[in-house]
Amino acid sequence: MSKSKITNIIILIIICTSLIFISYTIFGRDVKIVLSKGSEHKGYEKYSEWLNKIDSKVDCIDLYDMSIQDAMKELEDSDGLLLTGGPDVHPSRYGKGWDTLRCEIDSHRDSLEFILIQKALEKKIPILGICRGEQILNVALGGTLIVDIEQDYDTMVVHRCTNPDTCFHEIKVLEGSLLHKLTGTSIAKVNSNHHQAVDKIAEGLSVSARTRDGLIEAFEWSTPDSKPFMLAVQWHPERLDENNPMSKPIGKYFVDKAKEYKKKK
């Protein structure tokens, strides 16, 4: 092959690569959603898989291994914050600092998420809290947690099983709530995988779902007017069957709110 042909091929490759990059930049991802932790093992990866199954153009960014400064930059450029599941919030954050032996604690995660929540609320970035994400949102806004459901809460409902993918419990969704509007159901089954839960709910929040034993399973703003979208659930929608009303409708609404936020920026 002559040198001129090789040169032309190289030029063509460069042009094509540039066009692909430009197309991706302009027409690529619809929204950017940051995850407080979204990697390390399969369980964490399910969050981005869930969102991408709902909308393949969602760009999911894991903040956990970044410095807090870099994580804040990513948040500033994002359209939504997903607070994922994981270890326990340090009990000193909600007035029970003596009770750490029953907790699995990640202090870096606590510090990161408290700052992310504060900034997201200031900038009115949509927030979805799942499992630990629900719990730390309640604490960040002034609420408290039950340190261990089995030991501290008198109930016959099983809230934690060896295999959470095969263990479920029933919840009641409160009529008039945003959650009820999204899911279209008053009774549903969700996965059981928790040893902690919301105790005293923070001021300004409203319970939107409970278990049969009265335990809080979801909350939202009491008066959402002028506030950013925020919904928090105890269960794992990313692990539920997509036909379960407690899964896809929640993720889709969150993504839609992220798109709305992007348009307003």
Q: H or E segment at 208?
A: strand 205-211
pLDDT band at 19 (very low <50, low <70, confident <90, very high): very low
What tokens appear for 235 in the block? 């269960």
Residue 54 lies in a domain: yes
Residue 13 lies in a domain: no
CB-based contact 107:64 (threshold 8 Å): no
Residue 93 sits in a domain whose CATH number is 3.40.50.880
- The 3-state DSSP class for residue 226 equals coil
Q: What is the pLDDT of residue 215?
A: 96
Q: What is the pLDDT of residue 160?
A: 81
Question: What letter does residue 195 receive in the DSSP assignment?
Answer: S
Q: How confident is the model over 202-261, as pLDDT tens digits?
A: 999 999 999 999 999 999 999 999 899 999 999 999 999 989 999 999 999 999 999 999
CA distance 155 to 25: 52
Q: What is the pLDDT of residue 28?
A: 54
Residue 26 lies in a domain: no
Residue 21 lies in a domain: no
Q: Work out the average pLDDT over 13-34.
A: 59
Structural domain boundaries, residue 185: 31-264
Residue 189 β-bridge partners? 170
Distances from the Cα of 21 to the Cα of 27, 31, 58, angstroms: 10, 17, 17
Q: What percent of the chain has pLDDT over 70?
A: 89
Q: Work out the average pLDDT over 124-135.
A: 98
When comparing pLDDT for 61 and 264, which is higher?
A: 61
Residue 149 lies in a domain: yes
13, with CB counted inside 10 A (0-12, 13-18, 19+), is: exposed
Q: How confident is the model over 151-206, as pLDDT tens digits?
A: 989 887 777 887 767 889 999 999 999 999 999 999 999 999 889 999 999 999 99
Number of domains in the chain: 1
Q: How confident is the model over 26-85, as pLDDT tens digits?
A: 445 689 999 999 998 889 999 999 999 999 999 999 999 999 999 999 999 999 999 999
Q: List Cβ neighbours of 198 (8 Å cut-off, separation of 6 or more).
A: 134, 135, 138, 143, 144, 145, 146, 215, 216, 219, 234
What tokens appear for 130 in the block? 């799942």
Residue 8 lies in a domain: no
Please, what's the b/e burial string for 117-130 (b: 16 or more CB within 10 A of its CB; e: otherwise)? beebbeeebbbbbb
Q: H or E segment at 3?
A: helix 3-27
CA distance 181 to 176: 7
Residue 148 lies in a domain: yes
CA neighbor of 108 nearest in space, from 155, 71, 151: 71
Residue 190 β-bridge partners? 169
CB-based contact 126:228 (threshold 8 Å): yes
The set of catalytic residues is 131, 236, 238
What tokens appear for 260 in the block? 């709305």
Residue 23 lies in a domain: no
CB-based contact 242:248 (threshold 8 Å): yes
Q: What is the pLDDT of residue 265?
A: 78
Indicate whether this model's pTM tops 0.85.
yes
CB-based contact 80:261 (threshold 8 Å): yes
